[in-house]
Amino acid sequence: MDSILVTGNGALSGQIPIAGAKNACLTLMPATLLSEEPLTLTNAPRLSDIKTMTALLQSLGAEVSTLQDGQVIAMSSHDLTSHTADYEIVRKMRASNLVLGPLLARFGQAVVSLPGGCAIGARPMDLHTEGLEALGAEIELKDGYLHASAPRGLTGAVHEMRFASVGATENIVMAATLAKGTTVLKNAAREPEIVDLVECLRKMGAQISGEGTSTIEIQGVDRLHGATHQVVTDRIELGTYMLAPAICGGEVELLGGRLSLVGAFVEKLDAAGIDVEETAKGLKVRRRNGRVQAVDVTTEPFPGFPTDLQAQMMALLCTAEGTSVLEEKIFENRFMHAPELTRMGARIDVQGGTATVTGVGRLKGAPVMATDLRASVSLILAGLAAEGETVVSRVYHLDRGYEHVVQKLEGVGAKIERIKG
């Protein structure tokens, strides 16, 4: 297993290009199942999760090819040979469950393995099944698989989700595009990746309104046609790299960044003493002066502070002046980066879903272990600012969500290299 060696090397400066959003691409790809005509995605990120979704769609019989070094994904699901998403694939990547809604809508049947738990939590699918059942699907759990059917097709309905789940919103909206009649989805998630999905579905002929708000209305149509769609910028990669000049000092411009993607996050950076300026090309980030200031953070569904930036923000706050309280309200076990940061001299007290961080002047490099995707990059950020060398092991977690990390950070003056293991 590869590892990454990072050596604290002072202030950063230069530009980092931000890729297309992993979490948009992972819901846009299954949308190909809704039409027998080709769907092409541009600005796609080059990530192992995208390779996993490609393998899943191909296992169903869809044609998926990547062009331009992986930045273009051309798909067609004219003839499928299977409607089963196998445990071997789903257990590796929960987002595989996003084939459930499209398969049900187009073929009236789907067999999708329950993802099983993952490092950050149990991650059940009850919100997905409740919504699809509201549209008339019959879903039964057998041998760890959801067996879903809608022999007479799906029928639009009014459904209010108990929690604004991102994936459940995506599955229900995709399914509703081909249902008979109108669906009104209440307490829908508002993430930019959902807005991007709806924009793509509309290009395919879907009739949808309200995306980005808590109520999405979908008029079912008989069929969807092909389209070409550009994947939205990845707001989590953007926020992650915004923290590099924040924790190291200096000034970095994040190409493709827009304030609209990271509103609540930027408010917290401002309170911590970090300046963010929107330019024609992206977002320019620099530390105002002196030490970063402690701030309290609570993760919430969009437009609140994103849970996917909590680990990275904790790394910054480990070096802040004062004490910060971080509350993780989305997942039940998303502080596994804390003990690893503690190995670097951080002072963090975790009690259930709350982590209290007392800032220290400077972290010290140490061998640490990545436990999940966002924890891995939190440790790299800490290593960029730490004294001495940090070796982050198990970087396969990193490859799931961050393309070309070493090159992007080297490009702004970081001392970082990948060690083949």
Chain positions contacting ligand EPZ, by CB under 6 A: 22-23, 26, 94-95, 121-128, 163, 165-168, 307-308, 330-331, 373-374, 401
CA atoms within 13 A on the CB side of 92: 15
Residues 326/334, Cβ–Cβ less than 8 Å = no
Catalytic residue selected from 25, 118, 200, 248? 118
In the complex, residue closest to ligand EPZ by CB = 167
Nearer to ligand EPZ, 231 or 373 (CB): 373
d(CA 222, CA 327): 45
Compute the least distance from the CB of residue 401 to ligand EPZ, in Å: 6
Phi and psi of 141, rounded to 5°? -95, 120
Nearer to ligand EPZ, 145 or 287 (CB): 145
Supply 242's token pair.
């915004």
Which ranges constitute the DSSP H helices of 93-234? 100-107, 126-134, 166-176, 192-203
Select from 370, 368, 346, 369 the least CA-distant residue to 358: 346
d(CA 113, CA 340): 32
d(CA 237, CA 88): 27
Nearer to ligand EPZ, 193 or 253 (CB): 193
Q: Print burial letters for 294-317: b (CB count within 10 Å at least 16), e (below 16).
A: bbebbbebbebbbbbbbbbbbbbb
Q: Quick check: is 118 catalytic? A: yes
| Distance between start and end Cα atoms, the chain | 5
Residues 408/241, Cβ–Cβ less than 8 Å = yes
d(CA 407, CA 401): 15
Nearer to ligand EPZ, 92 or 291 (CB): 92
Compute the least distance from the CB of residue 360 to ligand EPZ, in Å: 27
Nearer to ligand EPZ, 12 or 134 (CB): 134
Nearer to ligand EPZ, 387 or 399 (CB): 399
For residue 321, give the DSSP letter: B
Cβ burial of 154 (10 Å; 0-12, 13-18, 19+) is buried
Residues annotated catalytic, as ranges:
118
